[in-house]
């Protein structure tokens, strides 16, 4: 049985499953909804669980439990190192350790709601004929303004059929983060201040050569001391560091209710 599991055929839908888990941990229910974007959607949650269990047995996916009160703890799935290797290849085999392990209890509610948002966005975009592209998972993308940095909960582009990209940085709050703080810590005031500082770097029209991630920054001449606005992958690899010109067409600030101000 172990040999059969380890030699499980990797199907096109399996690759879609691994790609989804590369964005965020997902429950079977979330997978069922997200599968609307797959070439061959799942027909019911039982079939989702059966395939995920086969991938778990093959060592390509890992299953964990959310810490919930009462009976029937909610299970969720993440990539394993093998699953990441199959998806990304040798050249991108390295990834943050936490991407393969359980979500810390303090982050579980935020992770679950962020996954709800990502799934809802992906399925809505699919129905509207938009392509979800250039996705960066939570804490995998760093925006730097001067000496300060931001790590969005995720970043992605929605690309229209004509090829026009709309870029988003997402911040989701479960009413746990301070609104203001005089100390050097995370707060909504600090995030809004830094995102506002990046706004002049945004293009007001269609870029001639739209790129993602952003590549250069042309700071307005009326600002005497332009902050150094850069985007960097969380690996810190110098080859993945860039100047920021077209940071976003919009900054998205989301609450757990999925209401967003763009």
What is the CATH classification number for the domain harbouring 33?
1.10.10.10
Q: Of the residues 75, 106, 137, which one is the last residue of a structural domain?
A: 106
The order of strands in the sheet holding 131-136 is: 131-136, 154-159, 165-173, 250-255, 260-261
Do residue 92 and residue 158 come from a single domain? no
Run of H or E including 84: helix 81-88
Do residue 102 and residue 134 come from a single domain? no
Do residue 261 and residue 134 come from a single domain? yes
Q: Is there a domain that residue 64 lies in?
A: yes
211/245 Cα distance (integer angstroms): 10
Do residue 102 and residue 143 come from a single domain? no
Q: Is there a domain that residue 20 lies in?
A: yes
Count: domains in the chain: 2
Q: Is there a domain that residue 113 lies in?
A: no
Do residue 69 and residue 190 come from a single domain? no
Q: Residue range 236-262: average pLDDT?
A: 33
pLDDT digits (tens, 9 = 90+) for 77-106: 999 999 999 998 765 545 666 678 999 998
Q: Are the CB atoms for 196 and 171 separated by under 8 Å?
A: no
66/116 Cα distance (integer angstroms): 14
Q: Is there a domain that residue 156 lies in?
A: yes
Residue 225 has pLDDT above 90, yes or no: no
pLDDT digits (tens, 9 = 90+) for 7-28: 788 999 999 999 999 999 999 9
Q: Which domain holds residue 82?
A: 1-106
Do residue 138 and residue 254 come from a single domain? yes
Confidence of residue 37 (pLDDT cuts 50, 70, 90): very high
- Cα 102 to its chain centre, rounded Å, is 17
Do residue 220 and residue 181 come from a single domain? yes
* More confident position, 194 or 25: 25
Among 55-69, 113-127, 236-250, the least confident range: 236-250
Q: Is there a domain that residue 119 lies in?
A: no
Q: Is there a domain that residue 112 lies in?
A: no
């Amino acid at each position: 049985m172990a040999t059969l599991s380890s030699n499980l055929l990797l199907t096109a839908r399996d690759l879609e499953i691994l790609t989804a888990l590369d964005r965020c941990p997902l429950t079977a229910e979330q997978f069922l909804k997200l599968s609307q974007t797959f070439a061959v959607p799942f027909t019911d949650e039982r079939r989702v669980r059966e395939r995920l269990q086969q991938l778990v047995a093959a060592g390509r996916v890992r299953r964990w439990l959310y810490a919930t009160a009462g009976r029937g703890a909610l299970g969720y799935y993440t990539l394993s190192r093998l699953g990441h290797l199959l998806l990304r290849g040798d050249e991108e085999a390295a990834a943050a350790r936490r991407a393969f392990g359980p979500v810390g209890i303090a982050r579980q509610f935020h992770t679950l709601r962020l996954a709800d948002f990502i799934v809802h966005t992906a399925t809505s975009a699919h129905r509207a004929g938009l392509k979800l592209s250039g996705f960066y998972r939570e804490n995998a993308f760093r925006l730097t303004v001067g000496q300060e940095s931001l790590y969005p909960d995720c970043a992605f582009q929605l690309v229209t059929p004509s090829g026009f990209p709309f870029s988003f940085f997402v911040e989701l709050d479960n009413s746990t983060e301070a609104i203001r703080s005089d100390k050097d810590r995370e707060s909504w005031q600090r995030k809004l201040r830094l995102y506002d500082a990046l706004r002049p770097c945004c293009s007001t029209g269609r870029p001639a050569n739209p790129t993602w991630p952003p590549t250069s920054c042309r700071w307005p001449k009326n600002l005497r001391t332009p902050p150094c606005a850069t985007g960097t992958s969380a690996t810190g690899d110098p080859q993945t560091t860039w100047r920021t010109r077209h940071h976003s067409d919009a900054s998205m600030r989301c609450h757990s209710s999925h209401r967003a101000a763009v």
